[in-house]
Amino acid sequence: MNRRPLEFISGLAVYIVLALLVAWAIILRLSIIPIQFVNWLGQSHNPQNALVYFSLALSATILVFLRFGIEIPKIKMVASSEKLQPYLSGLPIWALGLLWAGSLIGFWSVFPSCQPPVTIQFEVSGREGAFHPSDTIHVLPGEAVTVTAYSINKDATLSCSWEYAGSIFQTIGAQRGCQVSAKFNDQSGSGFMTVSVSENFCSQSSIFSLQTLIANH
């Protein structure tokens, strides 16, 4: 279908405005954008360009979905307006495809590479304050404790895998994400609780440990 220059220009304007709205939603950290995703974009070596290219790519994707009749919940009511349809369909599919491909190529050049967590903190049941990696937990013979690993960044999502070393552990409870329970033997000794942690679904992980010490009184 042939398009008049005015239709093409109006479609391009809608594409740019939509990209700007996406960028502002990310900058303002609106609830429609997961905070973990915002943090991931910020890990790019050039966050400004990553934001621009991603917004352009998402804008093209939204317009393609709308052209094929795929409903998008957040903008369903606006997109259904008959007055907006000529503007939303101003750009032909091939133009949207070129814009989408170009923005993805640009985004790939500044693609955020995820990083493992630099540090975490531990919370131990029955004890006040936070514990840091390499700290020592003093436990009583036969005592049971629950240890929780958490990030110093409240917006981060951690994934944890626990391991143990030493004969002081009597039983190990079920692991619930970054929380684990352990019951200790009656004899004095020492051991280590080690956790492998990744952050915000990154494939890279860091290892942190706590020393556990049983001292008979």
pLDDT digits (tens, 9 = 90+) for 100-115: 999 999 999 888 877 8
Rg of the chain over CA atoms, in angstroms? 26
Task: Look at 32-41, 129-138, 145-154 and tell me which has the smallest mean pLDDT.
Answer: 32-41
Tokens of 165: 């070393």
**Would you say 6 and 14 are in contact if contact means Cβ atoms under 8 Å apart?**
no
On whether the CB atoms of residues 134 and 147 are closer than 8 A, the answer is: no
Same domain, 79 and 139: no
Q: Which amino acid is at 174?
A: A
Q: What is the mean pLDDT of residues 79-103?
A: 75
Question: Could you tell me if 27 and 74 lie in one domain?
Answer: yes
User: In this predicted model, which residue has the larger pLDDT, 103 or 63?
Assistant: 103
Q: Show the domain range for 80.
A: 5-109
Q: What is the overall mean pLDDT for the chain?
A: 85
Phi, psi of 137 (to 5 degrees): -100, 125
Same domain, 78 and 173: no
Domain CATH for 177: 2.60.40.10
The domain total for the chain is 2
153 and 191 fall within a common domain: yes
Same domain, 78 and 18: yes
Neighbours of 102 (CB within 10 A): 14
Residues 16 and 101 occupy one common structural domain: yes
CB atoms within 10 A of CB 156: 16
Could you tell me if residue 114 is inside a domain? no
Residue 159 lies in a domain: yes
The pTM assigned to this predicted structure is 0.59
Say what the alpha-carbon torsion angle 111, 161, 31, 18 is, to the nearest 10 degrees. 20
Same domain, 88 and 142: no
Q: How confident is the model at residue 84 (pLDDT cuts 50, 70, 90)?
A: low
Task: Report the pLDDT value the prediction gives residue 33, as an integer from 0 to 100.
Answer: 81
State the average pLDDT over residues 154-174: 87
